[in-house]
A and B are shown apart, each in its own frame.
Chain A
Amino acid sequence: MKDLLEQLGLCVEKGKSDRNAAFPPELRGMDGASELTLKALEAGFSANQILNEALMPAMQRVGDRFAEHKAFIPDLMIAARAMNAAMEHLKPFFESGEAQHRGKIVLGTVEGDQHDIGKNIVKMVLKGEGWDVIDLGTNTSATEFAEAVAEHPGSLVGMSALLTTTMVKMEESLQAIRAKIPATKVFVGGAPLSQAFSDQIGADGYFPDPHSFALHLREIS
Chain B
Amino acid sequence: MKDIFSYRPVFNELRVNKENIFGAMGYEKNTPEQYIQITDKLLKEAEHAAELQAGYRWLSPGSAKAEHGKLVLVDQVFEIRKIIYSQLHLLDGAAVFAVSIGSGIDNWSRKFFEEDEPLAGYIADLIGSEIAEALADWLEAKIAAHALELGTKHSNRYSPGYCDWSVAEQHKLFSLLPDNFCGVRLNNSGLMVPQKSISGIVGTGAKMKWREYPCDRCSLETCYKQIHKSHETAS
| Chain A residues with CB below 8 A from B220, complex form | 191-192
9 A-B pairs whose Cβ atoms sit less than 8 Å apart in the complex? A74-B26, A74-B122, A81-B118, A114-B191, A116-B110, A116-B113, A117-B109, A120-B121, A163-B191
Interface string of A72-101 (1 = CB under 8 A from B): 111001101100000000000000000000
Cβ of A165 < 8 Å from any Cβ of B? Answer: yes
| Chain A residues with CB below 8 A from B161, complex form | 163-164
Task: From the candidates B34, B113, B188, B195, name the one contacting A23 in the complex (CB within 8 A).
Answer: B34
Q: Is the CB of A166 within 8 A of B34?
A: no
With A and B bound together, what is the CA distance between A78 and B191 in angstroms?
A: 30
Q: Is the CB of A164 within 8 A of B167?
A: yes
Task: Give the contact-size bracket for chain A.
Answer: 20 to 34
Residues of A whose CB lies within 8 Å of any CB of B are 22-25, 69, 72-74, 77-78, 80-81, 112-117, 120-121, 124, 163-166, 191-192, 208
Q: Is the CB of A121 within 8 A of B189?
A: no
With A and B bound together, what is the CA distance between A115 and B125 in angstroms?
A: 11
| Chain A residues with CB below 8 A from B223, complex form | 191
Q: Is the CB of B26 within 8 A of A114?
A: no
Cβ of B5 < 8 Å from any Cβ of A? Answer: no
Chain A nearest Cβ from B36, distance in angstroms: 11
Q: Is the CB of B222 within 8 A of A117?
A: no
| Chain A residues with CB below 8 A from B123, complex form | 74
Q: Is the CB of B191 within 8 A of A112?
A: yes
Interface string of B164-192 (1 = CB under 8 A from A): 00111000000000000000000111110
| Chain A residues with CB below 8 A from B221, complex form | 208
A114-B195, A117-B109, A120-B121 known; A74+B35 contact, CB < 8 A: yes
Cβ of B193 < 8 Å from any Cβ of A? Answer: yes
Q: Nearest A residue to B34 by beta-carbon distance?
A: A23
| Chain A residues with CB below 8 A from B167, complex form | 163-165
With A and B bound together, what is the CA distance between A124 and B112 in angstroms?
A: 13
Interface string of B101-141 (1 = CB under 8 A from A): 00000000110010010110111010000000000000000
With A and B bound together, what is the CA distance between A23 and B36 in angstroms?
A: 12
Task: From the candidates B32, B166, B191, B222, name the one contacting A113 in the complex (CB within 8 A).
Answer: B191
Q: Is the CB of B119 within 8 A of A78?
A: yes
Q: Nearest B residue to A139 by beta-carbon distance?
A: B187
Q: Which 6 A-B pairs have the closest CB atoms?
A: A72-B26, A112-B189, A23-B34, A191-B222, A165-B189, A166-B189
Chain A nearest Cβ from B160, distance in angstroms: 9
